[in-house]
């Protein structure tokens, strides 16, 4: 990994990039994951590289859904494993969620390496190695475990590709996504769309989960029942517009 000096003005962004590159070199992340990361970086620029209000709201609602779930599952792919394995494990610990590896560019070696990475980050059990159930999809993301994603009532699917999200929603599950692109099929299809960087989102969610764990069940239910995903996406796009307008104003003579 290239050493990024801490005083570099783009330290966080460059460090994340190095982690994804290291993930590819370790065999955890797919080469395609580099393109996904680049796409995410450009949306993060437009957002202003901060957690916008609408995302913070969606993150709180997502945590409420995870805390109330009977069988919550966090799905992990190669980018997530490279960027934030410890944060996945800590969110799973606080919310009682299972962790399952589920890959688009699936190879058994990658599944094994990602499970090892998550275990090295503190996970005791990671599902995904022995898929015994299938989603109605024509690609490898159909391969799931019956005690994990298949029977989950709430699934967190960060950096998703869209059609699995749609399928999981069709199956009646609450699907939470983390995707910096508010226009993606994933964001438009999910039950709760978090338009934020994975690293910031997982950090915020772990903090909220620690706080909200002690809240009354009715308060959590209220958060979920009053949530409207279309409004949150509308607000995310509006917040991006405002950010761009502020930049444009700086350029005006």
Integer Cα distance of 129 and 147 in angstroms: 12
C-alpha span between 233 and 240 (Å, rounded): 11
Q: Considering beta carbons, is residue 68 or 229 the nearer one to ligand PTJ?
A: 229
Is residue 54 a contact point for ligand PTJ (CB under 6 A)? Answer: no
- Region of 172 (left: φ > 0; alpha: ψ -120 to 50; beta: rest) is left
- Taking alpha carbons only, the member of 140, 86, 135, 152 closest to residue 110 is 140
Would the annotation count 39 as a binding residue?
yes
Nearest approach, Cβ of residue 183 and ligand PTJ (Å): 9
Between CA 12 and CA 31, with CA 157 as vertex, the angle to 5 degrees is 60
Least Å from the CB of residue 175 to ligand PTJ: 14
Question: Which residues share a beta bridge with 74?
Answer: 99, 156
Map tokens 């993930």 to a residue.
Answer: 23
Binding residues among 77-106 for ligand PTJ as defined by CB under 6 A: 77-79, 83, 103-105
Tokens 């996904």, located at residue:
36
Chain positions 11 to 40 lying near ligand PTJ, rule: CB under 6 A, are 30, 32-33, 36-37, 39-40
- Known binding residue 200? Answer is no
Closer to ligand PTJ by Cβ: residue 148 or 220: 148
Contact residues toward ligand PTJ (CB under 6 A) are 30, 32-33, 36-37, 39-40, 43, 77-79, 83, 103-105, 159, 161, 178-181, 184, 197-198
């Amino acid at each position: 990994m290239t050493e990024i000096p801490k005083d570099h003005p783009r330290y966080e962004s460059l460090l994340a990039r190095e982690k994804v590159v290291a993930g590819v070199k370790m065999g955890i992340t797919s080469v395609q994951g580099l393109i996904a990361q680049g796409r995410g970086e450009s949306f993060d620029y437009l957002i202003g590289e901060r957690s916008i209000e609408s995302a913070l709201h969606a993150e709180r609602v997502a945590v409420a859904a995870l805390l109330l779930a009977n069988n919550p599952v966090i799905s992990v792919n190669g980018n997530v494993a490279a960027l934030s394995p410890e944060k996945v494990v800590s969110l799973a610990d606080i919310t009682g969620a299972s962790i399952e590896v589920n890959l688009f560019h699936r190879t058994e070696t990658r599944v094994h390496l990602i499970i090892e990475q998550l275990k090295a980050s503190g996970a005791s059990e990671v599902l995904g190695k022995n898929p015994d159930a299938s989603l109605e999809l024509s690609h490898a993301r159909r391969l799931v475990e019956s005690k994990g994603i298949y029977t989950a009532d709430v699934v967190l699917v960060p950096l998703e590709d869209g059609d699995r999200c749609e399928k999981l929603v069709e199956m009646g599950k609450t699907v939470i996504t983390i995707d910096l692109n508010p226009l993606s099929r994933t964001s438009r299809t999910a039950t709760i769309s978090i338009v934020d960087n994975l690293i910031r989102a997982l950090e915020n969610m772990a903090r909220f989960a620690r706080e909200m764990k002690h809240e009354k069940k009715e308060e959590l239910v209220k958060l979920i029942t009053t949530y409207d995903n279309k409004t949150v996406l509308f607000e995310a796009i509006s917040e991006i517009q405002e950010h761009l307008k502020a930049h444009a104003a700086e350029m005006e003579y």
